[in-house]
Copies of this chain bind each other. A is one copy, B any other.
């Protein structure tokens, strides 16, 4: 019945049903909100019997946990890509610029995959003890702490604690993402290009909090 499957030979074995189910979750969340997602709805979207998702993921929480885990990996990839784009021009880049780039990556992922981003932080819907989820989360977090550590080494913390700078940078990127997705920031700032807003805000933060070694008489 789904249009996109018309020309595909429908077989008993799907091929990669787990992946198809995760895509269906994205669509279902985007359409009806996280609270309205059901295993049966997801199965319907994937064109599969309603008990198939439970077969692969054990339970509703299992399905959402897998979806969130995939989200963290994709977030890590997006942040890394944004940092890599910095170095395209040349050399081992400015550590502070990397922090800003990661913020942009975080934001880009969130805005590009709002449903997934939301599920990642809907803790009451996930299996809290899941190992894979924790590993994916750790991977993302260590990207940020490493970059702040590099700023520290480069003498750009100006006496501030790395933990505090990390918490601030993470909070800023997270808040930007959540408020943009919810529509609040778009409504209040009138800004239409989310990436532009994020870049402006993040650059301001990095410039103010992680300036280069102070030059006497510097103004900004």
Q: Which residues of A approach B to under 8 Å, CB–CB?
A: 32-36, 121-125, 141, 158-161, 163-168, 170-176, 178-179, 182-183, 185, 188-191, 197, 200-201, 204-205, 208-209, 214, 216-217, 219-220
Contact = CB atoms under 8 A, between A and B. Distances in A.
Nearest 10 CB-CB pairings of A with B: A175-B175, A33-B124, A171-B175, A174-B175, A208-B208, A171-B176, A208-B209, A168-B201, A35-B35, A172-B172
A104 to B, nearest CB: 13
Nearest to A120: B182
Given A34-B124, A189-B163, A204 B209 contact: yes
A217 B220 contact: no
A36 B124 CA distance: 9
Given A168-B205, A175-B178, A188 B123 contact: no
Contact of A220 (B36, B158, B165): B158
A32 B179 CA distance: 25
A164 B214 contact: no
B178 A172 contact: no
Contacts of A185: 167, 170-171
